[in-house]
Structure 1
Amino acid sequence: MTKRIALATSAEHAELHPNDLPLVEALRTAGLDPVAEVWTDPSVDWSAYDAVLLRSVWDYHRRYDEFTEWLAQLDKAGVPLLNDSGLVRWNGDKRYLLELRERGVAIVPSQVAAGACLREVVGGLDGQEIVVKPTVSATALHTVRGVAGSAEFDQVLTELPELVYLVQPFQPEIVADGEWSLIFVDGEFTHAVVKRPAAGDYRVQDDFGGTVTPAEPTAEVLEGARAALQAAGRTPAYARVDGVVVNGRFLLMELELIEPELFLTQHPEAAHKLAATVVGRI
């Protein structure tokens, strides 16, 4: 019998994002029956599927408690999730970066702070240009950039919601050279792109006018990305390793294991490799 796989998506992209269409075709070619399902739809019988593949669940960070409850629901029903629910839970909070640092991964310098501690941490960086972002977030939600100690940035901080934040020095190389995204399928590197912000911005997401260019990573960039992925401990079905090169060294910004854009339209062969990986894991 043909195995059915649910492609979990958000209500905003109920028919999937166009960037996922190459994967749909690849899954069908591999003999699977892929069906887009909105993860927040209470009418979906997830147990009717042989597996669930996370795709455009781009609202999970806004409904994080609900998302983790949904993961528990899948676990209870015995429905395999790709990536697996343990990795997804671990990856859902950016504090995993500090764990990877303890495992020897070079990351963008990061401190965690919440509430009054946020002011204390920012105060210790007086005069430096920094970025503050929630530990649970995506698409630069509640992410701010400014000079620590300036009146303007102090005002910005007062407007942030009460969350747990990462505090990082701003990396000007993102503007000058771009941010690397390296895609791995079943632990193997498939392709890479460089994302660049629009003029006058620092956010590389296309929501803010960022652009994407296919690129071949240097040996040093690829080695750094592989080291970050291997430090996660388990080999995910898919992963995107985001980082920036500073003084010739690849620094990890994020290890994306939940719902990353995999840039499959730029590299269709990776869609078929991912489809084969899905077949082999269910």
Structure 2
Amino acid sequence: MTNCRGAPTLIRVSPRIALANSADHAQLHSHDLPLAAALRTAGFDPVAEVWTDPSVDWSSYDAVVLRSVWDYHVRYLEFVEWLGQLDKAGVPVLNETDLVCWNADKSYLLELRERGVAIVPSQVAAGACLREVVGGLDGQEIVIKPTVSATARHTIRGTAGSDELSRAMDDLPDAVYLVQPFLKEIQSEGEWSVIYLDGELSHTVLKRPAAGDYRVQDDFGGTAELVEPPAAVLEGAAAALAAANARRAPVYARVDGIVSNGRFLLMELELIEPYLFLPLVPDAADRFAAAIAGRLS
């Protein structure tokens, strides 16, 4: 294209950002609409894509940001292979693929414990050894969850040694599991989620389960509110994030935990596709977009 004097006219092309989702959420989830708007304001072209769609040319994007890939845990090997393909194609992924792969298996909690992070007491048990591990906790109220899971899938709670828990275990698939004590603070006080953007504290929410439940996800009636956290929560969350030993601070992170006896205990360090509660904080999406821009500059 030329102008009236015959000189070429430069056409500015907006960098394209793929916001990767699962097929069940092919379009952007409502919680990511502020991010898409902020990216457009920052000069990017955000496009919702399904990560399992074979027709997508991922190499046509300047970066892939993992958002609602909420089926990665049921297609784990496929997910890891897809991340490898993005690496091979030279497409930046946020968060970085090595950090995502490490974070996809909850046994990372034991690594963080070795690095001095206070975690909810946890044991890892392969399916064949699960009953043996549970048998050593006879009479204790416990939670059992797969090390690769999300949204409380295949998560059960009960008293070790009880017939009820034994029957629930009969229905569990052959997998590797985390076995943890059930801490009543999650019902009485709630679960803290501390959100970081580009390594900086952004905001904190307190999630509470519905009456009689222990799952804080809104799928099960859980609620969340923006709150000012106590010092113990901030100190514990910062220590957990630092212990991940990432080459660079994650572009986004959510640190989940509870306070027990005045101490923050890490439940999960979410670095893949966590819900970040962006709609609760007016400028959080802008800061998220700025963090993405910073990694691509």
SS in 1 for 2:124: strand
What is the 5 A alignment of 1:203-282? 203-234=215-246, 235-282=249-296
Report Cα offsets for 1:197-220 as digits up to 9, x if no partner: 111110000000101111111111
Equivalences, count: 282
Q: Distance in 2 between matches of 1:139 and 1:246?
A: 23
CA root-mean-square deviation: 0.6
Q: Distance in 2 between matches of 1:169 and 1:133?
A: 11
SS in 2 for 1:41: coil
Question: What letter corresponds to residue 21 of structure 1 in structure 2?
Answer: L
Q: Normalization by structure 2: what TM-score?
A: 0.94
SS in 2 for 1:183: strand
Structure 1: runs of 5+ lacking an equivalent? none
SS in 1 for 2:100: helix
The answer for the alignment partner of 1:92 in structure 2 is: 104
Q: Distance in 1 between matches of 2:128 and 2:272?
A: 30
Q: Distance in 1 between matches of 2:128 and 2:276?
A: 37
- Larger deviation, residues 248-257 vs 151-160: 151-160
Structure 2: runs of 5+ lacking an equivalent? 1-12
Q: Distance in 2 between matches of 1:244 and 1:65?
A: 31
Q: Percent identity?
A: 73
Post-superposition shift, 1:115? 2.3
The answer for the alignment partner of 1:117 in structure 2 is: 129
Q: Distance in 1 between matches of 2:22 and 2:162?
A: 39
SS in 2 for 1:239: strand
Q: Normalization by structure 1: what TM-score?
A: 0.99
Question: What letter corresponds to residue 288 of structure 2 in structure 1?
Answer: L
Contact 2:192 2:206 in 1 (8 A): yes
Q: Distance in 2 between matches of 1:220 and 1:179?
A: 13
SS in 1 for 2:54: coil
Which of the two has higher C-alpha Rg? 2
SS in 2 for 1:224: helix
Q: Distance in 2 between matches of 1:30 and 1:171?
A: 43
Q: Distance in 2 between matches of 1:222 and 1:60?
A: 29
SS in 2 for 1:268: coil
Question: What letter corresponds to residue 255 of structure 1 in structure 2?
Answer: L
